[in-house]
Amino acid sequence: MNTSFPRLQRASGESRVAFAVRDGETRLADLYQRDPCRVLFPDPEPGEPPQAVLLTTSGGVAGGDCLRMTVEVGPGGHAVAATQAAEKIYRAAPGNDPCRIDVAIAVAAGATLDWLPQETIVFQGSRLKRRTIADVAPAAALLGCEMVVLGRAASGERFASGLLLDSWTVRRAGRLLWTDTLRIEGETHGGAGFGAANALATIIGVWDAPQPLFDKARALLTDTGDVRAGVTVVNGVMVARLLGEATAVRAATIRFLTAFRARRLPRVWHV
């Protein structure tokens, strides 16, 4: 008798959006999307750069799903990329592979990208492997943010079993500047450096002259209430962390990014 679990149909989605400067303005240059990945282009506020809002029409990601997202900004361009809502990673069915999300970011010489996805909520029993690779050219700038929430605290859920493997890599002119991997497998309460926290936000910045912006970030993170926060510079890459309860971390992240960028976050963050 075959006692193995059946393999369920899974999603394999992809989106690719590229911006380039034409007639003195940053405009959409290329777009590709395959279900369940989609890209929306809301009208930005006057004077703001164009925005790309990424979403998954499936409403979440399940075990065995594979998604790939690419965002590119050509020479001299300036764009903002965000996600429509928090990404939900559902409990994995027995016998299924982890879900995989690959993000590729390319910022050309003289260009600027603000990569500002909303939080990823990792449900109890889910299994996620996510990899983000950013290639930032000399004289280019990248501000990136990722936030993970372990379990649905409002429903009384803790992330007591499952897998989160979340990695970041930053390269400049083909040279590795910074790489970091967070691995959580099973219970974190009271361990793994999280204590009672159930959320972690990581903010990175890549600029030719990081010191003044590092000083600005450090000043903004001196008072974050119940959220533990810190910032450092590694090989020219600014790395800030905010750790605490999910609602408080989200609020602190919004305050920090709004003050740091001196402009409001995309509207999808506020609806």
* Closest by Cα among 111, 182, 168 to 142: 111
Domain membership of residue 158 as a residue range: 12-263
pLDDT digits (tens, 9 = 90+) for 226-235: 999 999 999 9
Question: For residue 216, what are its two tokens?
Answer: 């600005």
What is the C-alpha to C-alpha distance for residues 224 and 222, in angstroms, rounded to an integer?
Answer: 6
In a domain, 197, yes or no: yes
In a domain, 4, yes or no: no
In a domain, 166, yes or no: yes
Instruction: Please state, for a pLDDT cut of 70, what percent of the chain lies above it.
Output: 93
CB burial of 19-41 (b: ≥16 within 10 Å; e: otherwise) equals: bbbeeeebeeeeeebeebbebee
Q: How many domains does the chain have?
A: 1
DSSP E strand stretches across the chain = 12-22, 25-34, 37-40, 51-56, 66-73, 78-83, 87-89, 99-107, 112-116, 120-122, 127-136, 141-150, 163-172, 175-185, 199-206, 228-234, 237-244
In a domain, 24, yes or no: yes
In a domain, 228, yes or no: yes
* Closest by Cα among 99, 26, 30 to 68: 99
pLDDT of residue 6: 54
In a domain, 246, yes or no: yes
In a domain, 271, yes or no: no
pLDDT digits (tens, 9 = 90+) for 186-200: 665 544 567 788 999
pLDDT of residue 188: 58
In a domain, 7, yes or no: no
pLDDT of residue 7: 55
Listed as ranges, residues in the chain with pLDDT below 50 are 1-2, 190-191
pLDDT of residue 190: 47
Name residues whose C-beta falls within 8 Å of residue 52's C-beta, 6 or more positions apart in sequence.
Answer: 17, 19, 39, 40, 41, 71, 79, 80, 81, 82
